A and B are shown apart, each in its own frame.
Chain A
Amino acid sequence: MIKFDHVTKRYPGSNEALSQVSFDIESGELVFVTGHSGAGKSTLLKLIAAIERPTSGTVLIANQNISQLKAAAIPYMRRRFGLIFQDHKLLYDRNCFENVILPLHINGITGLDAAKRVRAALDKVGLLHKEKAMPITLSGGEQQRLAIARAVVSRPSILIADEPTGNLDSSYAADIMGIFQDFNQVGVTVIVATHDARGMSATQNRVLHLDHGRLTVSNSAESVNA
């Protein structure tokens, strides 16, 4: 599903954010990307989501080389993903329902069908009763769950979350991790970057550990540590 082959990413005027990283993620896996802040977790996720392009090496998503994608093809590639950010990136000028419907409008889905799917997504994250509320009135945990609803409403095959529990206390964090595990159980590939081991401790999931841009631990056989 996702294949990194000797991927290096260097930002202009800085050291390598990632060096020679190689790994494979199969469809339906739940993978944690760990490492201290600045280890390259966010860069790795941005490469998967085609927000950045590798300096060298290849990134294959569903057998498509993202370096060779035309600019016009990138939006369609991104629709395979549900992206969740630490700062939620919600739109505060509209209510919860309208936040969640945005990906459907982008996909050209409107009307009753869209409304049904929005309510289903809100229901999954336990926010159905707040569809008319403005995001600013929600708690941090609720805002993150709203962001998850927006990420899953278009039924992506891959969920990517960057520090989804970074600002939350432990009970909320466990709650959010529980939601990810539910999605993983119905076949969605889930990739979660975190410096926070709280959500992972209960489960035996695969971990990609980054240290200064290098992959140091990968409890999966095919990973390469250069």
Chain B
Amino acid sequence: MNWLNQHLQAIKLVLSRMDSNKLSTFMISLVIAVAMAIPGVFYLGVEHLSKLSNHMQNETEISLFVKLDEPASTLTAIDAALKSNPAIQTYTLATKAEAWEDLKAKAASSKINSEVQNLEQNPLPDAFFIQAKSADAAALATLRDELQALPGVEQALLNAEWAKRLSSILALGTKIIAFIAALLALALLVIIGNTVRMQILTQKDEIVVSKLIGATTNFIRTPFLYAGIVYGLFGGLLAMAMLMFIVQLYNQSVAQLSQLYSNDFSLAWFNPPLYLGIILLSIFIGWLGSFLSVSRAIAAIKID
């Protein structure tokens, strides 16, 4: 009971001190919030892209481009080979003439690539678009190699490959975020430690008197530890508000894009695990920052 009472007293004291120093309390919370929100934004972005690339990695399409200037018999031979291949679900042929007309039509409607109209010769190859039966990466690669070996094939492309490259770049991005977050956490420790040390100096008289009348170090330290915790809590909540605001802005600007791709690009407005993580982490950093500085600062105050 006594123990609980002491903690309640300490929290009351801290809150009343913060109430009389609203501006500086807000400032330190803002510093914490910004430092927490920056890696938070990066994290949201990377997570979002990862989701998209994971989705694309499940695609089983292989594009097969035929060498230019091959006779029509080559096309027939490839067509026969595809038909007899048991690993293939379906395939379609886009002849170079079709592709050429398609391109010219697109160029005319968009009026951007008028250069296309000036080309004298069709630069496009005949192409087969193949859906494999298996989505397994190894099976797809085998099939791709098999198709590449067919006579007259210029290139067999696995569409999932670039998605894989993207996902490995994203994995690197995650590591960089972790690194930035660690640096920011270190900076926060120093900032919070310093803020608490300054507070200890302004409360020097009280600490001296408390020591003289028999206060334990724990009794003196507790309010400052709570100050760190409360700063962390305020900073974490503020960071959450910032992230929600940023997600909202993002969602508004991609709404149109989503419609065009008939895909959902929007981010979840409320992300409990992320926000909870940010708040708990900033509380922990607040506590640790004040813990690291408080014992030394209190010991440095001499009584006499």
* Chain A residues packing against B (C-beta within 8 Å): 46, 49, 51-52, 72, 75-79, 81, 83, 89, 91-93, 102-103, 105-108, 110, 150-151, 154
Contacts and interface: CB of A to CB of B under 8 A. Distances in A.
Given A89-B208, A107-B214, 9 more contacts: A51-B212, A52-B304, A81-B214, A83-B213, A91-B205, A92-B205, A102-B213, A105-B9, A154-B213
Contact of B6 (A51, A76, A108): A108
13 contacts: A49-B212, A51-B212, A52-B304, A79-B213, A89-B205, A89-B209, A91-B206, A102-B209, A105-B6, A106-B210, A106-B213, A106-B214, A106-B216
B219 A106 contact: yes
Contact of A103 (B2, B208, B213): B213
B5 interface: yes
Nearest to B2: A108
A103 B304 CA distance: 18
A181 B269 CA distance: 72
Contacts of B208: 89
Interface of B: 2, 5-6, 9, 205-206, 208-217, 219, 303-304
B5 A75 contact: no
A73 to B, nearest CB: 10
A79 B215 CA distance: 8
A72 B216 contact: yes
Contact of A89 (B6, B212, B215, B216): B212
Interface of B: prevailing SS:
helix
Contact of B215 (A51, A92, A106, A150): A106
A171 to B, nearest CB: 28
A189 to B, nearest CB: 17
A93 B13 CA distance: 13
Given A51-B303, A51-B304, A106-B219, A78 B212 contact: yes
A30 B215 CA distance: 26
B5 A108 contact: yes
Contacts of B215: 75, 106
Contacts of A107: 214
Contacts of A110: 5, 9
Q: Would you list the 8 A-B pairs with minimal beta carbon distance, nearest first? A: A78-B214, A79-B214, A108-B2, A106-B215, A75-B216, A75-B214, A103-B213, A110-B5
B6 A83 contact: no
A76 B209 CA distance: 15
Contacts of B206: 91, 93
A121 to B, nearest CB: 13
Contact of B304 (A46, A93, A106, A154): A46
Contacts of B211: 75
Nearest to A49: B212
Contacts of A105: 6, 9
Contacts of A83: 212-213
A67 to B, nearest CB: 18
B268 to A, nearest CB: 46
Nearest to A42: B304
B202 to A, nearest CB: 10
B154 to A, nearest CB: 82
Contacts of A49: 212
Contacts of B205: 89, 91-92
Nearest to B215: A106
A76 B214 contact: yes
Most chain-B Cβ atoms within 10 A of its Cβ — which of A49, A75, A103, A108? Answer: A75
Given A105-B9, A110-B5, A110-B9, A78 B213 contact: yes
Nearest to A150: B213
